[in-house]
Structure formats: structure tokens, C-alpha cells
């Protein structure tokens, strides 16, 4: 018997309630602050800086995976 592919349509939520968008906005703001002020990079090694960026990417991916609703503008 073929599998049933049910599609559940949910109402889109307002963009400002998206955890993924807020996470990315905060990270973008912090990255811009770091780029202009250069506060952290002189005190940490390149590998730690790279690991931090990797963790941020993983955080973004995890939020995207748990997303169940679309957003509306």
C-alpha cells in the first residue's frame, strides 16, 4: 500500500516572532560591532574564532530544522 503524503497547512506567523530571524539579527549586529570595534579578535586565536563561527552556523541550522511555521511580512 502506498504511503500517504499528508500536507498540513498552517497559518504563517508574523516575521517578528521568528526565533531564527532574531538569532540571525543578533548575530549580524554582534558581527558588525566586532568588525568595527575589533574587540575580540586580538585576544583569541584564529581557530577559536573559526569554531565560534561554526557554532553559530550550527545554531542557525538547528533553529531552521525545528521551524514548523512559515513567516509573513
Higher pLDDT, 18 or 2: 18
Q: Is residue 51 part of a domain?
A: yes
Q: Is residue 67 part of a domain?
A: yes
Identify the burial level of 24 via C-beta atoms within 10 angstroms of its C-beta, where 0-12 means exposed, 13-18 middle and 19 or more buried.
Answer: middle
pLDDT of 62 higher than 80: yes
Q: Is residue 38 part of a domain?
A: yes
Query: What distance in Å separates the CA atoms of residue 13 and residue 72, rounded to the nearest whole number?
Result: 6
Q: Is residue 3 part of a domain?
A: no
Q: Is residue 31 part of a domain?
A: yes
**Residue 61 pLDDT:** 92
Instruction: State pLDDT tens for residues 5-59.
Output: 776 667 899 999 999 999 999 988 888 888 888 877 777 777 887 888 888 889 9
Domain extent, residue 54, equals 21-72
- Work out how many domains the chain is built from and give that number: 1
Amino acid at each position: 500500500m502506498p504511503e500517504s503524503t499528508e500536507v498540513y497547512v498552517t497559518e504563517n506567523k508574523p516575521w517578528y516572532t521568528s526565533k531564527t530571524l532574531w538569532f540571525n539579527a543578533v548575530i549580524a549586529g554582534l558581527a558588525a560591532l566586532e568588525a568595527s570595534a575589533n574587540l575580540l579578535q586580538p585576544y583569541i586565536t584564529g581557530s577559536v574564532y573559526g569554531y565560534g563561527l561554526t557554532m553559530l552556523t550550527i545554531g542557525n541550522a538547528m533553529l531552521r530544522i525545528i521551524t514548523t511555521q512559515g513567516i509573513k511580512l
